[in-house]
Amino acid sequence: MQKVDYIIKADYLLTMEGDLSVIRHGAVAVTGSTITDAGTSQDISGKYTSDNIIDSGNSVIFPGFINTHTHAAMVYFRGIADDLPLQVWLEQHIWPNEMKWLSSDFVADAIELACLEMLKAGVTTYSDMYFYQNISAKQLDKIGMRGVLGSGIIDFPWKDVAQTPDDYFVNCEGLINTWKGNELVTPCVAPHATFTCSPDKYIRAKELAEKYDVPLHTHLAETQFEVAECMKRYGKPPVEHLDSIGFLSERVSAAHCVWLTDKEIDILAQKKVGVAHCIESNLKLASGIAPLPKMLKAGVRAAFGTDGAASNNDLSILGEMSTAAKVHKGVSLDATVVDSKTAMLMATRTGAEIIGLGDKTGSIRPGKKADLVIANLNKPHLTPLYDIYSHITYCMRPGDVETVMVNGKILIDKGRTTTLDQADVIAKAKAWQNKIQSR
């Protein structure tokens, strides 16, 4: 028999491959950072042996969740300005606080809290848009989490991040040259939005991404304000505008996409643009509700993002799944839209695909990276169990996640962190809270 590093067993295994069938009494064999095999426990035990056998019993194994849009370091602004319209929230509260506090030290500490929260909720990969991404990359590499880190690009200088708009491109190219090819960190080019980035910035961003073959990430059609500004400046709504300058492609993941025309939905589908659906942030900021069922029907690739914890106020993909699956049923008056299998697929395989990591993660199959989650089903709110997909979408909570593996390494072991000191991370967060409150 072949020896592997881990054999992980559970009563349910969701590979998110093929017809999405459920494997009862399933197991996954892991060697190094990679999945060696997956199937029934009997089959895996008959072919492989290991010194590390994790038999989780009444549990479910599934691929790690993918958070396709966030601003991870903004977790330190969680709850700082709530119940406000987006532009007021952004321009009068978030931007001034970022101007005052954002620094390499702030990001280094905040990333630890964001990763801790996401890992404990079963998120193994996130796609980020922010500044000081070299600092974030170092933290990810140390923690062992996977991330697509978008270096932000805007039209105007920002603190010590950029003295001129050209500096954003210098920063981005530096990030790419330092981290491209890293096992865990994927650098990304991230022009902010159509109301903060002129067409030439978008074109330069695309050229840079194509030069180095890295992803592109932007906000798109998030608010009525953004649409009105785009119409005023360019005579077209945001998706049509970006299409007209040649920006859109399969390389692009676009966050929000709330205010779309039918023509724009067709453009997104035709150009194979990935959409990060951030329903909880959009609801909380009263930005609107993206036409997800219509996008899915048109063939748009859509997945889930949390946005930053400053606007959500958490980083849980389980929460996004549950909210989206229910809200879209209520809005469309159709109980069949965004069913539980669709939600789970968006949270895993499709999420990985739209951020450019579909060959690495998002499903469980031989050759992919071992990014796995084990959730405990011995809970009152998960009993009785008739449909595991339904339970994950509608009943499961972050606290049900017990074990998380990324790249073949266990980062959460029976609820305990292995690469982060939880008490220290929370103490740092409280120290920053005290500093911020004192001002």
User: What pLDDT shows up at residue 86?
Assistant: 79
Hey, where are the domains in the chain? Answer: 2-63+366-417, 65-354
Contacts of 418 (CB under 8 A, 6+ apart): 409, 410, 411, 412
> pTM to 2 decimals?
0.98
Q: Is the separation of the CB atoms in 80 and 89 below 8 Å?
A: no
Q: Report the distance separating Cα 387 and Cα 73, nearest Å.
A: 36
The domain defined by 65-354 folds into: TIM Barrel (3.20.20)
- Altogether, the residues listed in the chain come to a count of 439
The whole-angstrom distance between residue 136's C-alpha and the CA centroid of its chain comes to 15
CATH class of the region 2-63+366-417: mainly beta
Give the pLDDT confidence of 88-132 residue by residue, as tens digits: 888 899 989 999 999 999 999 999 999 999 999 999 999 999 999
Q: Is 178 exposed, middle or buried (0-12, 13-18, 19+ CB in 10 A)?
A: middle
Give the pLDDT confidence of 151-183 residue by residue, as tens digits: 999 999 988 888 999 999 999 999 999 999 999
332: closest CA among 287, 296, 285? 296
Quickly state the pLDDT bin for 87 (edges 50, 70, 90): confident
Contacts of 153 (CB under 8 A, 6+ apart): 165, 168, 169, 172, 189, 190, 191, 192, 197, 201, 205
Which residue bears the tokens 């990969």? 125
User: What pLDDT shows up at residue 43?
Assistant: 98
Q: Is the separation of the CB atoms in 403 and 68 below 8 Å?
A: no
Q: Is the separation of the CB atoms in 230 and 222 below 8 Å?
A: no
Tokens standing for 274?
């990935």
Q: Is the separation of the CB atoms in 288 and 265 below 8 Å?
A: no
Q: Is the separation of the CB atoms in 74 and 309 below 8 Å?
A: yes
Q: Is 194 exposed, middle or buried (0-12, 13-18, 19+ CB in 10 A)?
A: buried
Give the pLDDT confidence of 277-315 residue by residue, as tens digits: 999 999 999 999 999 999 999 999 999 999 999 999 999
In the predicted model, what is the mean pLDDT of residues 256-274?
98
Q: Report the distance separating Cα 393 and Cα 60, nearest Å.
A: 13
User: What pLDDT shows up at residue 438?
Assistant: 85
Give the pLDDT confidence of 365-385 residue by residue, as tens digits: 999 999 999 999 999 999 999
